[in-house]
């Protein structure tokens, strides 16, 4: 019997990794918040193990309970316009936990600037960069914003 390339790929998918999304091994620092009914139950720091468009495997430093919601703020390794650090903010549910590894199924994600420059100084946006609702009456940005989009 001759096996087509398609047949071989199908068999490999059955035997191997059955996830729909490709996973990328990358170790990035993160902060996590354990959330239940819109209340923060616990917080901590950790590192990603791998990530995909559908989920993240990370090391939270200790076991976390399966079934609870979690928010991750992942330090992204690329600067926005070569000056502003970014974070990947992920919301999801813990679907698996073993040893010091926790798997999260992603519900929502977005990139945000972290509000600091690459050298650590707080970034002060110009009023032109802010939406009208955030601009001051005199047209000047007199305050520093810790986070802005």
Q: Enumerate the domain spans of the chain.
A: 15-114, 119-149
Q: What is the mean pLDDT of residues 61-87?
A: 92
CA distance 43 to 73: 11
Taking only the tens place, the pLDDT of each residue in 102-136 is: 999 999 999 998 865 555 555 544 434 444 443 33
CA distance 107 to 54: 8
Token pair, residue 68, equals 């609870």
Is it the case that residue 64 has pLDDT exceeding 70?
Answer: yes
pLDDT of residue 126: 40
Radius of gyration, CA atoms only, the chain: 20
**Fold classification of 15-114 (topology level):** Thrombin, subunit H (2.40.10)
Token pair, residue 143, equals 């305050």
pLDDT of residue 48: 96
Q: Residue 82 — very low, low, confident or very high, per pLDDT cuts 50/70/90?
A: confident
pLDDT of residue 22: 86
CB 111 within 8 A of CB 88: yes
Q: What is the mean pLDDT of residues 5-33?
A: 73
Token pair, residue 51, equals 């990530």
Number of H helices and number of E strands within the chain? 1, 7
Taking only the tens place, the pLDDT of each residue in 83-104 is: 899 999 999 999 999 888 999 9
């Amino acid at each position: 019997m001759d096996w087509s390339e398609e047949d071989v790929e199908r068999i490999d998918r059955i035997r191997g990794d059955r996830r729909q999304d490709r996973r990328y091994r990358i170790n990035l620092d993160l902060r996590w918040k354990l959330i239940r009914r819109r209340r923060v139950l616990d917080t901590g720091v950790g590192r990603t193990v791998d990530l995909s468009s559908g989920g993240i495997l990370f090391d939270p430093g200790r076991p976390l309970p399966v079934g609870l919601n979690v928010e991750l703020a992942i330090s992204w390794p690329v600067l926005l316009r070569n000056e502003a650090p970014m974070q990947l903010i992920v919301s999801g549910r813990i679907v698996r936990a073993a040893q010091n590894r926790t798997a999260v199924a992603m519900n929502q994600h977005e990139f945000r600037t972290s509000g600091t420059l690459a050298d650590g100084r707080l970034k002060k946006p110009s009023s032109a960069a802010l939406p009208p609702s955030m601009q001051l009456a005199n047209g000047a940005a007199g305050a520093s914003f810790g986070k802005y989009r």
